[in-house]
Amino acid sequence: MTDTPIIDVHCHTAGIGAGGSGCFVSPALLRSWKYRIYLRAFGITETELLQEGDGLILHRISLGLEGSSRVGAAVVFAMDGVAGERGELDREQTEFYIPNEFIAAEIRRYPNLLFGASINPLRGDALERLDRAHADGAVLVKWLPSIQHIDPADRRIIPFYQRLRELGLPLLTHTGEESSFTRSRDELGDPERLRLPLQEGVTVIAAHAASNGRNGGEPNHQRFLRLCAQFPNLYADISALTQVNRLGHLSRLLKYGELHSRLLYGTDMPLPSTGITSPWFHAYRVPPRTLVRILAEKNPWDRDVLLKEALGVPAEVFGNTARLLRPLLQGEAQTQQNETRIESEKTDQSGF
């Protein structure tokens, strides 16, 4: 167990536009069986969303964290869409969309949720959006290149990388294959494409540690490990590494002890609630009594922590997210204190 607070660096929400959120899901994804699975994993029905608004999912996420004895907070992602030729949102090519403004506003209601912004760097106003997200308290920027059609190696987005570095915002970007949606450009999940932002000095977090798929005739994880040896500013999260389709990837990654300080705890919530991360898939590696204890745990975050501990994840890894984000979290805390002080002074001056 670590004394440093555990922060889940990889948590998703969803939305259908209920309550004026501005979110939307593509018609193809709405027709897919995956849409129903995701709603069920969130413990939400479409009827509930229509009645109470998309913010209900963030409320449920916050409640789940309140019930956790191990995980204190989670970074919840917005999700930008595909950018058209003129730098505008291309709704027809976008699988799902969750505006930064919606997430930033909802996050303020919950002290255990942190704002993960999402900005397609090919938008015409990408730099302005980035500055706005930072001002709104974003602790990182999230990309899903294979779905958002972002090529991290595209030199046109160097100014975006430079601004990320100036703001001190990490870039958390999906690496490896993507199978959660109806279509995917998996070549954009090649970790080698992260060489450009790494060269520009951006702190890059490779989601899932490039644990599946191949590019350039070799496994993505080998391409990721080669970059790790060259760039100390490359991190990875361990979300999804207990999924049944990634068995063995976590233990392989943990063999590289020199990387432990750069591995970040994450869940890829709500996927741990879909059954694909069931502890039963790891029964061959976990002692029976430990397995029974993990299976008995009802809170999804606590169950995830227990499973990863049983699979050998060291205490250091669980505290790494808090250490990496500390400068941003301290800045946000100071901003909140200043806002509270200003409001208090206004009240005192008004005589009320």
Torsion angle of alpha carbons 38, 40, 44, 50, nearest 10°?
Answer: 60
pLDDT of 93: 95
For the cut 80, the answer to whether the pLDDT of residue 179 exceeds it is no
Residue 98 CA: distances (Å) to CA of 8, 27, 94, 134, 252: 19, 15, 11, 17, 34
Beta strands in the chain (DSSP E): 6-11, 24-25, 71-77, 96-97, 113-117, 140-143, 171-174, 204-207, 214-215, 218-219, 234-237, 263-264
DSSP-assigned states of every residue in 207-261: EGGG-S-EETTEEHHHHHHHHHHH-TTEEEE-TTTTSGGGTTHHHHHHT-GGGGG
SS3 169: coil
For the cut 90, the answer to whether the pLDDT of residue 344 exceeds it is no
- Residue-wise pLDDT tens digits, 70-111: 999 999 999 999 999 999 999 999 999 999 999 999 999 999
pLDDT of 339: 43
Counting residues of the chain whose pLDDT is more than 90, the rounded percentage is 78
pLDDT of 345: 41
Tokens of 111: 């002290």
pLDDT of 349: 40
Domain borders along the chain are: 6-276+314-350
pTM, entire model: 0.92
- For 6-276+314-350, CATH gives 3.20.20.140
**For residue 319, which amino acid is it?**
G
For the cut 70, the answer to whether the pLDDT of residue 347 exceeds it is no
For the cut 90, the answer to whether the pLDDT of residue 248 exceeds it is no
Say if residue 270 is preceded by a cis peptide, omega within 30 of 0: yes
Q: What is the b/e burial string over 219-247, where b = at least 16 CB atoms within 10 angstroms of the residue's CB?
A: bbbebbbebbeebebbbbbbbbbbbeebe
- Residue-wise pLDDT tens digits, 197-234: 999 999 999 999 999 889 999 999 999 999 999 999 99
Tokens of 149: 């059609």
pLDDT of 352: 33
183 confidence band (pLDDT: 50, 70, 90): confident
32 confidence band (pLDDT: 50, 70, 90): confident
Question: How many Å apart are CA 342 and CA 339, to the nearest integer?
Answer: 5
For the cut 90, the answer to whether the pLDDT of residue 247 exceeds it is no
Q: Higher pLDDT residue, 207 or 271?
A: 207
State the greatest distance between any 2 C-alpha atoms of the chain, in Å, as a whole number. Answer: 71
**For residue 140, which amino acid is it?**
L
34 confidence band (pLDDT: 50, 70, 90): confident
Residue reference for tokens 């709405």? 30
Cβ(133)–Cβ(104) under 8 Å? yes
Cβ(64)–Cβ(112) under 8 Å? no
Q: How confident is the model over 308-332, as a mean pLDDT?
A: 92
